[in-house]
Structure formats: C-alpha cells, structure tokens
Structure 1
C-alpha cells in the first residue's frame, strides 16, 4: 500500500475514536448518568480532560495531516517533486508523535482513575475515594461503600475503560504512522507520479 494511502486510512480510522473519546469524557461529568449539584463531587481525573484533550483535540491535528497526505500535490523543493512529498511524509511523523503523546496522556489519566476509583458519598456522609489501589476491581461487594451518586462505580469504570482502550488504539495507529511516515520519507510515495526515488 502507498504510504500516502496508508496515512489516509489511518486518519479515517482515528476520526470515530476521537468522537467516542470526547463523548466518553463528557459523560463522566454526569456520574451515574445524573446531573450532579456540586462539581467538587466529581472525580479529579474528570477535570484533567483526558478524552477531550488527549484523545480528542490533540488527535485532530494528526488526523488532518494524515488525510491530506494522499492528495498532497506539493510542488517539491529544488525542482524535485518527490522531495516535497518526502518532507510531507516526514512532517506526518512529527504529528503522529504529537497524537501518540495525546493518547498517552489519556491512557495515563484513565489508568490512574481506574486504579483510584470514583469519588462518591461514603458511609461517614463525606465525599471521598473509598477504594485503595484498585481493590474494588476484584471485589464487587466493596462497591457498596459508594452511596451516591447511584451506579457511579460502574459508570466511571466503564467510561474510563473505554477511554483507556481508545487511547491504546490511538497510540497503536500513531505508531504505525510513524513507521509509515519514515518509510515514505526514505522511499517516497509509490502513488506519486514520479514513483519511488
């Protein structure tokens, strides 16, 4: 497959992941599917915007670059059209690294939140984090430590797990584009009019 065509395919695959990442992060502002009356009762990690910033907006720039590579009709440099295409492929690796870092940020935030558990109203009528080191992941009976919001444990666990999985796929796709971009830089785009150089 041509390096430009591969980049376009990767860019198209990233679009739904961006949308799902942003939606999952937005839903985290409604613990248990309900509007909360005090924002201080939300888990801290929700405010780090892992899905909105990391898997969302930081990923938009690589996607735009990846999608534009296939139709790149760069005039080239020093009279050599393939030089311009190679530079475009090299620049795509830089944007792929930016995307990887954004997805990595979302991954770290999600992993920390899953391990920490949600903030909720505990048995002593105070808001806090009743779980320690992911102990609730293997023992569902501990979930009863959270009284409000209802279903907040499963809600946060599901959404942060979705963000974690999205981040893994995004990092994988960006890694593929780094390799693809380096190949395009070294070998040129086989679909270009001048062929590989």
Structure 2
C-alpha cells in the first residue's frame, strides 16, 4: 500500500508543471504575438474565451495537494481530484480541438472574419492559405502552436488523472470491502 501512496504523490507532482504550462499557453492565446491590442478590441477567436486550459488547470493546481499528500484518509480526496482532473483535461481537449477546427479570427481582405471556419480544419494542412490572415501577423501559426500544445497537455493530464483514479480506487476498495463485509 505504501507504493500506492508514493505513486499518487508522483502523479500529483507531475500534474503541477503540466497545469502551469496549460495556464501559460492560455494566457499567450489572449495576447497574439505579445500584443494587448486584439484583446482590447475584442478581436480574438470565440473559443479562446472558453479558457480550455486556464480555469480548469488553475483548479488542478489547488487540487494537486490531494494527489501529493495521499495518505489513507485523503485517498478519497485524491480520487475526487482525479475525477475533476479528468473532466478538466477533457474540457481542455475539446475546446482546444474546436478552436483549431474553427481557426483564428483575423483581418482578411474582406475584413475581420473566420476565414477557415467552413473548412473543418483542412486549413491546417494548407499553410499556403494561412497568409489570408493579414492581422494579427502570424496568428495562424500562433494559434495552431498554442492549441496543439494545449491538446498535448490535455492528453498527458488525462492519462495521469486516469492513472491516479485507478490507483486511488485500487487503494480504497479493500477498505470499503472490509468495512462492508466484516
């Protein structure tokens, strides 16, 4: 059983840098190329405002102590934290994926629009069309890079939380079984 507690602590510590990177990637999405102008003018893609990695991963930062301090009485808390982490990483994955499919909100020769929205993500394989976005400069590359980072981080967080959920359940089931049948 001691191995289970150590494993939970390791998983909790692994979530910390992933959550911090997710928060950072979300913050960078709010400021294309480091400029504040586009957020002030409300020129960001709609899915960026759903904060796929920000809110959920901030809560993971607060909940990670349940995973790091997994003593028998707190193992139920780490299971709860793992479930919240699974939901959060799933949310981050879905929102980031939808944002990638929609494409950036940018200024084109026709004004501000979503020039790739009707392509269902095919624009990702057609970098020659990325120049349709005139402003912010390199917004397609910026969004694609950060959203792919968020997708990858969400997958890693999901795997870690799934491992913790299994670990926590394997740890507490004997206690529940013993209390129920004896």
CA distance in 1, matches of 2:112, 2:33: 15
RMSD: 1.5
Q: Any gaps of 5 or more consecutive residues in structure 1?
A: 73-84, 189-197
Cα distance in structure 1, aligned partners of 2:127 and 2:160: 34
State the secondary structure of the residue aligned to 1:127: strand
Aligned to 2:47: 45
Moved over 3 A (4+): none
Are 2:158 and 1:171 aligned? yes
Matched, 1:108 2:94: yes
Quote the residue 1:26 is aligned against. Answer: 27
Question: How many residues were matched structurally?
Answer: 171
Within 5 Å, give how 1:7-22 maps onto structure 2.
7-22=8-23
More helix by share: 2
Structure with greater Cα Rg: 1
How far did 1:136 drift?
1.0
TM-score (norm: length of structure 2): 0.88
Q: TM-score when scaled to structure 1?
A: 0.82
Q: State how 1:121-132 maps to structure 2 within 5 Å.
A: 121-124=107-110, 126-131=111-116, 132=119
Question: 1:121 & 1:10 partners in 2: Cα distance?
Answer: 43
Contact preservation (8 Å) 1:33, 1:155: no
Deviations 1:129-163 (A, max 9, x none): 00021121111111011010000000000001101
How far apart, in 2, do the equivalents of 1:162 and 1:181 lie? 28
1:83-122 matches, within 5 Å, as 85=72, 87-122=73-108
What are structure 2's unaligned runs of at least 5 residues? Answer: 176-182
